[in-house]
Every structure is written in structure tokens, then in C-alpha cells.
Structure 1
Amino acid sequence: MATGWAKVNGSWYYLNANGAMATGWLQYNDSWYYLNASGAMATGWAKVNGSWYYLNANGAMATGWLQNNGSWYYLNANGAMATGWAKVNGSWYYLNANGSMATGWVKDGDTWYYLEASGAMKASQWFKVSDKWYYVNGLGALAVNTTVDGYTVNENGEWV
């Protein structure tokens, strides 16, 4: 009786100890694989139970930062694609609704934030964008209509 991985018509399948074809999540050699309803190993993006996952070309589930088609995505320790705010290695990042990492200005609710080219949120500092100076507090929120360190910022957060 055949067991283990088998390639059939260009797709990979996993046959368990009983020889039955596996479906769903499979842990094998410290990696996770997703086998669709037909048992075929998934690669690329797969939506499973409402969450998106990325399966590498070898089928292994990715975690951490992933660059795909020119955008960066963050996949948590369980492999699920993050959206919204995520704290990674001490820095905050904003992942759009489609999971892609945001850069530049982002408005969340009524508050503006600035994300560096790396995606990391600026906090507790003055910085310059397009010849205008701005200040963000310790939570990364843009200061507006106030005075910071003796400098006035307007309703757009620009030093005036």
C-alpha cells in the first residue's frame, strides 16, 4: 500500500498511514501544508476558514514577511495573513484590507499616521515630507492644531 507524498497528473497528494488521501492541513517534517478538498497540495494564496495563507512553491506554509507581486505581506506565526495594525519586532506596521503593507500617510479613524518606506510607523519625532515638517506622538498619531516643543502645527499637522 502506498503512503506518503505522491505526484499524480502534476499535482502532489499525501497518502496517510492507511493509504487514504489526506485533505486539509497536514504537518510534515516541521512544515505545514494545505491539501484542498480533492487532496491536491495547494501553492500560492489559499483562503481557508476565512483567513488567507501563502503556500510556497514546495507547498510549505509561509510565516513572517513575504514579498509577492511587488507588495509586502505579514503572515503571523499561524501563517494567517495580517490586516490592520501589527507589531513586528518592536515596530508597528499597517496592513491594508488586502494584506499589503502600507507606506506613507495612513488614516485610521480620525487619526493620521506616517509609515516609513520600510512600513514601520514613525513615533515621537519630527520629520519632513515634501518640504513640510510634521510631528507624531509616542503612539504615532499626527499632532494637529497644537503646539509641540514650542512649535505650532496647523489642522493638517504642518509646522507653521
Structure 2
Amino acid sequence: MKRQKLYISIAVMCAVLLLGGAGGSAAWKQTAAGRKYTTSSGKYVKSRWKKIKKKWYYFDKRGNLKTGRFKVGDDWYYATRSAGRVCNRRVGCYYYGSDGRMVCDAWKKNGKYWFYYDKKGKRRFGKVKTTEGICYCERETGKAVSKWVNKNYYGKDGVMVTSQWVDDSYVNEKGVITRGNKNPKNPPTQEEIRWLSAITYLEAGNQSYYGKKCVASVVMNRVNSKRFPNTIKGVLFQSGQFTPAGNGTLSSLYYSRRSIQTQCVKAAKYVLEHGSVLKGYYYFNTFSGTLKIGEHYFG
């Protein structure tokens, strides 16, 4: 009787062991339809992500492994058989972030440089309109720039600068450099016009109209240079610079009620409103210089 019970117990244990191992182990399976993955229960993984040996893979509704570029819901991904889901990497003109999703309508930093990807996930080149403003990405590489490009300036944040000064130039609301030295919304004052007209008359009253504009331009070149005072009056009365300022004739003319020669006023207004006609020149005299215009040498 005892021996019979022992046989029954052994039989039950064997049955349990056999049933417990009936499901098998999870494994890859290549089928005519595609590559699939079976769980320990023998079922295919379908319509979801599955982590296999520390790598993420996606299987469609039929259980087939998705590779290459594919869409899940509203997001695009890229995966390979060997590496699974691609993360923090550019593939072609697309970039896939830390969660594997394709970057769309956003900036992405890669190394030290920033790149912009549009709503379709493609890297953009040239002038780009973003939520931050208009930016510029190099046409060869796509790197965002912080510098002058043609007539526009792009700041440290990569956005095109508008309605402000950049170094010695003023850019308007469209981001384009204005021809003048002043913000067009703040035209030259009567005081500035009279001071510049007065020095132009006293230094070049007998010169051609162009010669008058050149003399006025030297004054404004100094105003816009960090090496000199930043106002017309400050430049004119800087010690030892302009003879009429030193001998009192400039102040005498400025404060008198006398009208100043029309062509000198016209030349002063032109330079104030349209900018210097002689960029890079800061001196003039009647005896030596690198450029001679009328009776003046400029340097």
C-alpha cells in the first residue's frame, strides 16, 4: 500500500513539472510575414513596445517588428534590428530625441551648435521663421548663427534683431540696416543740425556739395566711433581737434541769429539722415592725407 502511494506521488510530481514547462520561453521568430517575438506564454507581442535585452522594439497589430522610420500614434520613430529604437541621434535629415520620438517644430542642440527642425521633422537651412522669431541656419550645415548675414543681424539667441542699435548701425523693424546713423523714429534735433551745419560751413563753406558732405561725414564717423565722444557737440569741442571750436568762431556762429549757408545745412541733414558718405575716415586737413577731395585731405 505504501509503495502504491509512492508511485502515485511521483506521477503527480512529474505531471506538475510537465505542465509547468509547457509554455516554453520567450523568443524571436522569423515568419513569412515578418520578424515576430513570442512571450513565455507562446503569444506574439502586438501593437505595443517591448523591452528586449535592454533595447526597445515596436510590433504592429499583426505582431511584425517595425524597423526603419515608422509612425506610432502622432509620433515618428526610427528603429533597427540590432539596436532597437534610436535615441539622441540624427538619421538622414531627421533627429530623434531622448525618448526616441522625432523632433518636430523645435530646436535641438547637437554638440555646441543648435539646429532647427520644422513641423515635418526636417532640418531647416537658411532663413527660418520660428515661434521665437526669424532665425538663420547655415545653408551648408544647418547650424544656427549669431552674426551679420547680408543686411540682417542675428543675436546671441539666434533671433534676428529689429528696431535697435547693433554696434554703429541701426536696424529697423524689418531687421534691415537703415542708411542713416539714427533711429528713423528719432530724427536729428535742430541742435544737432545747426552744430553740424556750422562746422561744415566754417571748414568747407567754399567746397563743393560733396566736399561739404565729406567734412560732415568725418564728424559723424567720430560720433559713431568708440574712440571719440558720442555727441556732435562733444566731438567738435574735444580739445585740439577743430580750429573753429578752439578760437570761438564755432560758438559765435551757432549762437548767433545768422542763417547758415543753405548747401551746408543740406549737407549736414543728408549725413544725419542717410549716413556717412566717407566711411572709415576720421580726420581732414589742407596739407596731407590718404584721400584728397577739393582742398581737403582725408585720413
Q: Fold-level match, TM-score > 0.5? A: yes
Give the share of equivalent positions with the same residue, in percent: 26
Give the aligned residue type for 1:103: S
User: Match for 2:158 among 119, 123, 126?
Assistant: 119
More moved, 71-80 vs 20-29: 20-29
Point out the structure with the larger helix share: 2
Q: CA RMSD in A?
A: 2.9
Q: Residues 132 and 159 of structure 2 are in contact (CA less than 8 Å); yes or no, is this contact kept in structure 1?
A: no
Where do 1:134-145 residues align within 5 Å? 134-143=169-178
Equivalent residue, structure 1, for 2:94: 53
User: Match for 1:28 among 72, 76, 81?
Assistant: 72
Equivalent residue, structure 1, for 2:20: none
Where do 1:143-154 residues align within 5 Å? 143=178, 146-147=179-180, 149=184, 150-153=273-276
Quote the offset at 1:47 in angstroms.
2.9
Give the aligned residue type for 1:152: G
Query: Could you report, residue by residue, the CA deviation over 1:58-96 in whole angstroms, capped at 9, with x for unpaired residues?
Result: 211122122332322211111111111101126210012
Q: Distance in 2 between matches of 1:90 and 1:44?
A: 24
Q: Residues 70 and 77 of structure 2 are in contact (CA less than 8 Å); yes or no, is this contact kept in structure 1?
A: yes
Quote the offset at 1:124 in angstroms.
4.3
Quote the offset at 1:39 in angstroms.
7.8
Query: Residues 141 and 39 from structure 1, CA distance in 2 versus in 1: closer, same or farther, beyond 3 angstroms?
Result: same
Quote the offset at 1:154 in angstroms.
5.9
Give the aligned residue type for 1:25: R
Q: Residues 21 and 39 of structure 1 are in contact (CA less than 8 Å); yes or no, is this contact kept in structure 2?
A: no
Give the aligned residue type for 2:129: K
Give the aligned residue type for 1:115: Y
Count of equivalent residues: 145
Q: Distance in 2 between matches of 1:9 and 1:23?
A: 17
Point out the structure with the larger strand share: 1
Give the aligned residue type for 1:54: Y
More moved, 59-68 vs 37-46: 37-46
Structure 1 position 92 matched with structure 2 position 134: yes
Query: Residues 31 and 154 from structure 1, CA distance in 2 versus in 1: closer, same or farther, beyond 3 angstroms?
Result: farther
Query: Residues 112 and 73 from structure 1, CA distance in 2 versus in 1: closer, same or farther, beyond 3 angstroms?
Result: same
Q: Distance in 2 between matches of 1:32 and 1:70?
A: 26
Equivalent residue, structure 1, for 2:148: 105
TM-score scaled by length of structure 1? 0.72
Give the aligned residue type for 1:76: D
Give the aligned residue type for 2:169: Y
User: Match for 1:43 among 81, 84, 87?
Assistant: 87
Query: Residues 139 and 27 from structure 1, CA distance in 2 versus in 1: closer, same or farther, beyond 3 angstroms?
Result: same
- Larger Rg belongs to: 2
Q: Distance in 1 between matches of 2:78 and 2:98?
A: 12
Quote the offset at 1:155 in angstroms.
8.2
Query: Residues 14 and 90 from structure 1, CA distance in 2 versus in 1: closer, same or farther, beyond 3 angstroms?
Result: closer
